[in-house]
Amino acid sequence: MEPNCESPIALDDNGRLYNRRFREHLLASADQPNIPTAEALAALRLASHNFRITMDRWLERHQLSEGRMGVLWRLRGTGPMTLGDLASALDVSPRNITGLIDHLERDGLVERSPDADDRRVTRARLTPVGEARLAAVRGEMVEARSHMLAGFNDEEIDLLRHLCLKLVQNMHMEKEARS
């Protein structure tokens, strides 16, 4: 629960941040040519982990979670959807969509309604309460975003987006190659 105080992050000769202890650890080890990739992915792991923690803590103050927020965002962007489409859009199993919609419906943020054409499917749509909750969250998010990207210049913000999306593309390719 205590802050992670043992991460010696410092600037290297190129004006870029690095983890001093991790780099020393790698230099003392075997495969030298892979050091930059090891450092980059360790940093990505750390950032991803911390990002998830802060997002979760931030969302739970609105009685939300990452999965439920994903559902709300998707419903807001796309409009009412069938549960199956939601599952494939969010890349989770149908079982989990049932649970997430159960929870959201219990909280009054989402409504289920049967489909007129195909009586197997059930559609989910935002309720006015859900839209209001989403609007409140989006209002606070502007401030949270600026805090998280404090000290980033325009170039760095664009590069962060670019590199993240490049990673996403690679991970998609790997997933398809493995299937």
Partner DNA sequence: GAATAATGTTGAAGTCGGTAATATTGCAGT
Partner DNA sequence: ACTGCAATATTACCGACTTCAACATTATTC
Residues 132-151 within binding reach of its own copies (CB under 8 A): 142, 145-151
Binding-site partner at residue 165 among its own copies, DNA, none, CB < 5 to 8 Å by type: its own copies
Residue 82 CB neighbour total at 10 angstroms: 16
Binding-site partner at residue 158 among DNA, its own copies, none, CB < 5 to 8 Å by type: its own copies
- Binding part of the chain for its own copies, among 49-57, 98-106, 119-127, 128-136 by CB under 8 A, reads 49-57
Continuous segment of H or E residues that includes residue 124: strand 122-126
CA separation for the pair 18, 8 (Å, rounded): 8
Give the strand pairing for 17-19 and 9-11: antiparallel
Nearer Cβ to DNA, position 7 or 113? 113
Binding-site partner at residue 111 among its own copies, DNA, none, CB < 5 to 8 Å by type: none
Residue 45 CB neighbour total at 10 angstroms: 10
Binding-site partner at residue 68 among its own copies, DNA, none, CB < 5 to 8 Å by type: DNA
Contacting its own copies within 19-48 (CB under 8 A): 19, 25, 31, 34, 36-41, 43-48
**E runs forming strands in 24-120:** 81-82, 110-114
**Are 42 and 19 within 8 A, CB to CB?**
yes
Minimum gap (Å) between residue 39 Cβ and its own copies: 5
Give the strand pairing for 110-114 and 122-126: antiparallel
Minimum gap (Å) between residue 114 Cβ and its own copies: 24
> Does residue number 158 form part of the binding site for its own copies (CB under 8 A)?
yes
